[in-house]
Chain A
Amino acid sequence: MSLGKDIKILKTVPREKAFYFFTSIGNYTGLSASSLKEFMEKINEVNVKSLEFHLHRNDFEKWINEVLEDQELAAEMRKLQKFNLVGENLRNQIYVTVSRRLKRLTSQL
């Protein structure tokens, strides 16, 4: 992947394109993320029900793919779904996946 594309993945998006964490249909937690770094931070903060809700609906994969344009991390999110993880195990796994990717991207800058 080119350096330019990697930098683009680390961008901060406008609020209308941010990721908004919900715990169920229409129930917004008040937490949102406008960049990959913020997304990683919010994974540790948000109610774990929200992580289960969004992973099950492919919302993480969709946002990472369409807004951050990071196909690699989107594919890793898709794989996570297959493990049927719940609760803190799920939180840890998502956090590890995102932080590893973020570390890789920032180390190239």
Chain B
Amino acid sequence: MKLRNNIFALDVTDYKILEALQQDARQTYTDIGEHLDIAHSTVYDRIKRMEQYGIIKQYTTIVDAGKTGAKNITAIMTIYTEPKESEHVAEKLCKAPEVLEVYTSLSEELQIIAKITAENQERLHAFIANSIAPLPGVLRIRTSILTKKFKENQFSIGSDPKKVRFIKETSNIERR
């Protein structure tokens, strides 16, 4: 891992460690070291550095909400806003516990896209009507209630084609 223009350039070993952690963050430094054929102390040092520089943000647990008995509904909200109020609306959304994710999007009109959860449709509507629609700068809102999930993945090193190519190419050079 090298510092270039205040950005940390990861090398192939770092990517492999990240890939291993993304598959199973509970494995030990020794497990990862054995799998990658490197010393566990190297794994430890690199993980600590990646934690320190915020490349590894956190270790978390992915919960299957359905299996916990929670019957919450999830919706995607598109909020059209006046340009000068957009940031303010996004900040307000971020503070609401019902809102899971907030993005701005590039399109003809300025939009904020947010993922939101609620106990039921009535609670969802009440939250939007009482807390989002009255925010200054909100022009209109489109909401789609999600019905069936086909896939949900976090960003993974293994799903980035450029990184995979880099790892493969670098591994071949190292083997030669």
Instruction: Identify which of B125, B134, B139, B143 contacts A18 (C-beta below 8 A).
Output: B134
Contact between A20 and B133, CB atoms less than 8 A apart: yes
Contact between A28 and B141, CB atoms less than 8 A apart: yes
Instruction: Identify which of B134, B136, B139 contacts A20 (C-beta below 8 A).
Output: B134
A82: CB under 8 A from chain B?
no
B129: CB under 8 A from chain A?
yes
Asked if A20 meets B143 with Cβ closer than 8 Å, knowing A15-B134, A26-B77, the reply is: no
Instruction: Identify which of A16, A26, A32 contacts B75 (C-beta below 8 A).
Output: A26
A102–B51 Cα distance when bound, in Å, is 65
Asked if A30 meets B139 with Cβ closer than 8 Å, knowing A25-B121, A25-B124, the reply is: yes
Chain A residue contacts of B128, Cβ below 8 A? 22, 26, 28
Interface class of chain A by DSSP: strand
Contact between A29 and B140, CB atoms less than 8 A apart: yes
Q: What 0/1 readout, one digit per residue, does chain B (127-168) give for beta carbons within 8 Å of chain A?
A: 011101110101111110100000000000000000000000
- Separation in Å of the B123 CB from the closest CB of chain A? 10
A51–B1 Cα distance when bound, in Å, is 61
A74–B143 Cα distance when bound, in Å, is 29
Chain A residue contacts of B140, Cβ below 8 A? 28-30
User: Could you list 16 A-B pairs, sorted by A, with CB under 8 Å?
Assistant: A15-B134, A20-B129, A20-B133, A22-B128, A22-B133, A25-B121, A25-B124, A26-B75, A26-B77, A26-B125, A26-B142, A27-B143, A28-B128, A28-B138, A30-B80, A30-B139
